[in-house]
Amino acid sequence: ILEADMKSKQRNFNDTVITAPFDGIVAELYVEEGETVFQQAQLFALLDIYILEVVFFCSDVELPSFKIGLPLSFTVDAYPGQQFESSIVSIDPRTDDEYLNFRIISHYVNNNPAVKLFPGMIARISTRLGEIQNTIFVPVDIVMKSENGAYLFIVKDGVAHQTYVTVGKQIKDEYIITSGIEEGDRVLVTGYRTVKNGSKITVVKSSGN
């Protein structure tokens, strides 16, 4: 009986040891030493800082460029000049309610214990989507919209011509124009909001350029 009682007490003692399901950092404790707890009680919050989700959003125009497995690079302010590598693991086919953008998740595996990346950090993401050749770029600001579509002004023989264009992807502060203008067309980039179709334009060359 004594031996059975000892084994029972040993089992009870072993049950007081809580083993975490993964390595991580204790972010918050919900109980104190000596406190009585019950089954299913939450004891602490454990953060996994070794496999992190990098979450970002893209527009419907940009969505076709992103695929599962696409490698990404990102930087954080805590480690200036250092790039981290991740890859896309999930693309949500639903848009968010506020901006109608698509949620994309990539995973970063931290194999360097000296680097501490934590949930909530802001990352700047970059990736290579392929070479762009023989493509026309124009500033985002000069493309205007009407009931008939997107347009801008080109200048021919000193006259402004309202020209409808097909707009492709936006890359930083420029649009790719897929049709409507050709290489060599002179695009109006100043005063475009005050001119009208057929307005006479005087081209002034900047001194020193």
The pLDDT value given to residue 207: 54
Report the pLDDT value the prediction gives residue 32, as an integer from 0 to 100: 87
Instruction: Give the pLDDT means over successive 10-residue stretches in the chain (209 positions).
Output: 71 74 82 82 84 91 88 94 95 87 94 86 86 82 94 95 92 88 93 93 67
Domain 51-126 is found in CATH 2.40.30.170: yes
pLDDT of residue 130: 66
Contacting residues for 41 by C-beta, under 8 A, at least 6 apart: 30, 31
pLDDT of residue 209: 46
pLDDT value of position 21: 80
Q: What is the CATH number assigned to the segment(s) 131-202? A: 2.40.420.20
CA distances from 99 to 3, 40, 81, 177 (A): 67, 39, 31, 24
What is the per-residue DSSP string for the chain? -HHHHHHHHHHHHHTT----SS--EEEEE-S-TT----TT---EEEE--SEEEEEEEE-TTTGGG--TT-EEEEEETTSTT--EEEEEEEEEEEEPTTT--EEEEEEEE---TT----TT--EEEE-------S-EEEEGGG-EEETTEEEEEEEETTEEEEEE-EEEEEETTEEEEEES--TT--B--SSTTT--TT-B----PPTT-
Buried/exposed 167-188: b ≥16 CB within 10 Å, e otherwise:
bbbeeeebbbbeebbeeebebb
- Domain ranges (residues) in the chain: 51-126, 131-202
The answer to whether the predicted template modeling score (pTM) of the entire model surpasses 0.85 is no
